Structure 1
Amino acid sequence: MITNLYLVRHAHSTYTPEELTRPLSDQGFRDVDKVTALLEDKSIEHVLSSPYLRAFQTVEGIATLLDTEIKLVEDLKERTLSRTAVDDFPYAIEKVWTNPNFSWEGGESNLSAQQRGIKAIQKIIKDYHGKNVAIGTHGNIMVLIMNYFDKQYGFAFWKQLEMPAIYQLSFDGEHYMHTTRILD
């Protein structure tokens, strides 16, 4: 049986330094309707999300349409780049993508964040075998997950990724088949 995971990068958010409670912006809330409409015909049976508010809010429309609850998955949260704010974000993010084992103080390397994300995805594949699942998540962790299965999804891909974005990862049992762009 085929399992389809619809990875949904959250819509645009209003920046706050607090990751957990950062909400969607007005534009982000408008984009929730677009996400909902694109997922509406995908026979979604379950909705999961990172515990971060902006990811949850992005998939809330499809959950409401399906009259289902959103299950939070801690390991789908965004990667921690550093314990403190970085002075030069473009440099800091490129450095971790260039060296998968490198991490800034208190942050996750690409490898450790990817392993966390893949562990969550493997559990989802087992728990929701043969189902279509919408998953609210974040750009870096989403691309790290996609990169695990297909190396074409890397730093250059992440840099051009829009908010929101939806990519379908399809699995036959636990075997990765392909990735399909739904919205970007």
Structure 2
Amino acid sequence: MKKLYVVRHCKAAGQTVEAPLTAEGFEQAESLADFLEGVGAQQLVASQFLRAVQSLEPLAKRLGLEIRQDERLGERVLSARDELNWMEMLKAAYEDLDLCYEGGESGRTVMNRALAAVQDILATDAEITVLASHGGLCTHLLKAYDDSFGFESWKVLSNPDVYLLTFDGDAVQVERVWN
């Protein structure tokens, strides 16, 4: 049985790849480390976005582990353009996983790249892994295992948030564990 803690990053100062955590986000990262320190993590994996890496740095320091970065865990690109009605567009894209806006990627594409990253994580010797990513990717990953996840689930995610995926043979249990 393998366990994967799926973490949405702590509060960040922006949406770019280089956007760091805010002062509050750094405090949240310490609280996240307090929460996850005792779970027995053997491996830490994060999106290449700075905010995801910084969310795991206090935990990595405490456990003496490196954070492996995986570009497949990067945030979803909804569209290449800034859209005023992006929230409506996002909702439609959750309802139709194959909907793809100009310069963006479909929900199915996001889900498939997240699943490919998870398969590589599960193929390692680590029994317990902590993965840090973004709201859009996390929600699509959770939807792959529990179809009830979607737009409304994304809207209520906190920064940070933590879900536990427990893999037992072909069965996968999804549970929100963050308070």
State if a TM-score over 0.5 links the two structures: yes
TM value normalised by structure 1: 0.93
Q: Are 2:162 and 1:166 aligned?
A: yes
Moved over 4 A (4+): none
SS of residue paired to 1:41: helix
Letter in 1 for 2:171: Y
* Residue of structure 1 aligned with 2:140, choices 139, 144, 159: 144
| Aligned counterparts of 2:64 and 2:7: Cα–Cα separation in 1 | 19
| Contact residue 3 and residue 128 of structure 1 kept, 8 A | no
Partner of 2:84: 87
Unpaired runs of at least 5, structure 2: none
- Distance across 2 between alignment mates of 1:78 and 1:176: 27
**Aligned with 1:32: secondary structure?**
helix
**In the TM superposition, what whole-angstrom CA distance separates every residue of 1:113-163 from its partner, at most 9, and x where no partner exists?**
11111111111111245x111111111111101101111222111111111
Question: How many pairs does the alignment contain?
Answer: 179
The aligned counterpart of 1:127 is: 124
User: Is 1:69 matched with 2:66?
Assistant: yes
Write the letter of the residue equivalent to 1:26.
Answer: A
Query: Contact (CA 8 Å) 1:169, 1:176: kept in 2 or not?
Result: no
Corresponding residue number in structure 1 for 2:174? 179
Distance 2:80 2:57 in 1: 29
Could you list the runs of 5+ residues in structure 1 that have no partner in the other structure? none
Structure 2 CA distance for aligned equivalents of residues 143 and 176 of structure 1: 19
Aligned-residue identity in percent = 28
CA RMSD of aligned residues (A): 1.3
- Residues 29-51 of structure 1: CA deviation (Å, up to 9, x unaligned): 11011100110110111111000
Q: Which amino acid aligns with 1:7?
A: V
2:4 is equivalent to residue 5 of structure 1: yes
Q: Indicate if the aligned counterparts of 1:38 and 1:182 stay in contact, CA closer than 8 A.
A: no
Choose from 44, 48, 54 the match for 1:57. Answer: 54
